[in-house]
């Protein structure tokens, strides 16, 4: 048995994804997002969360999936990578599960149209579903982080 990973499961365009709980600060309902000029289309803007300005990325746009209007179940998952806090807009945040790290395989080159560099691996669930584990460091790769850090005052 490998180590147990606690993972937050979220939905994006009919796929299930996972982010390790220790990287997630909080999960919020949709809230007003202030648009910021001269940013990539998937950077939706910034939110003011309890006095902290946090950039928000639409993960659908980040992965080149068709963007949709937020729904009642849409959530903003606030993650922390290194010293950067960023919000990800997802279709729904479903639950927290434990995954045995031995059950995580390397990702294929492309999963659901998403390049492997954004993925840490694919976890096999007990019910035969696959859970796509994100590689947050790549999702927020350096060039984009530099752009995002300019927002932080």
User: What is the tens place of the pLDDT at every residue in 68-119?
Assistant: 899 999 999 999 887 889 999 999 998 899 988 888 888 766 555 556 677 8
Distance of alpha carbon 150 from the chain centroid? 20
Question: CATH 3.10.180.10: does it fit domain 4-149?
Answer: no
For the chain, the domains span 4-149
Residues 77, 91: contact at Cβ < 8 Å?
A: no
Is 23 in a helix, a strand, or coil?
helix
Higher confidence at residue 70 or residue 146?
70
Which stretches does DSSP call E strand in 24-106?
24-29, 43-49, 52-58, 75-81, 84-90, 92-100, 104-105
């Amino acid at each position: 048995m490998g180590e147990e990973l606690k993972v937050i499961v979220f939905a994006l365009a009919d796929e299930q994804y996972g982010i390790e709980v220790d990287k997630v600060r909080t999960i919020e309902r949709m809230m007003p997002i202030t648009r910021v000029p001269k940013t990539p289309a998937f950077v939706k803007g910034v939110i003011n969360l309890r006095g902290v300005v946090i950039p928000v990325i639409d993960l659908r746009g980040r992965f080149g999936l068709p963007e949709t209007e937020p729904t009642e179940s849409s959530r903003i998952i606030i993650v922390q990578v290194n010293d950067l806090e960023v919000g990800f807009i997802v279709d729904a945040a479903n639950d927290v599960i434990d995954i045995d790290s031995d059950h995580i395989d390397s990702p294929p080159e492309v999963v659901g149209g998403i390049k492997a560099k954004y993925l840490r691996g694919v976890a096999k669930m007990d019910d035969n579903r696959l859970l796509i584990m994100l590689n947050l460091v790549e999702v927020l790769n350096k060039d984009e982080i530099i752009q995002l850090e300019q927002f932080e005052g």
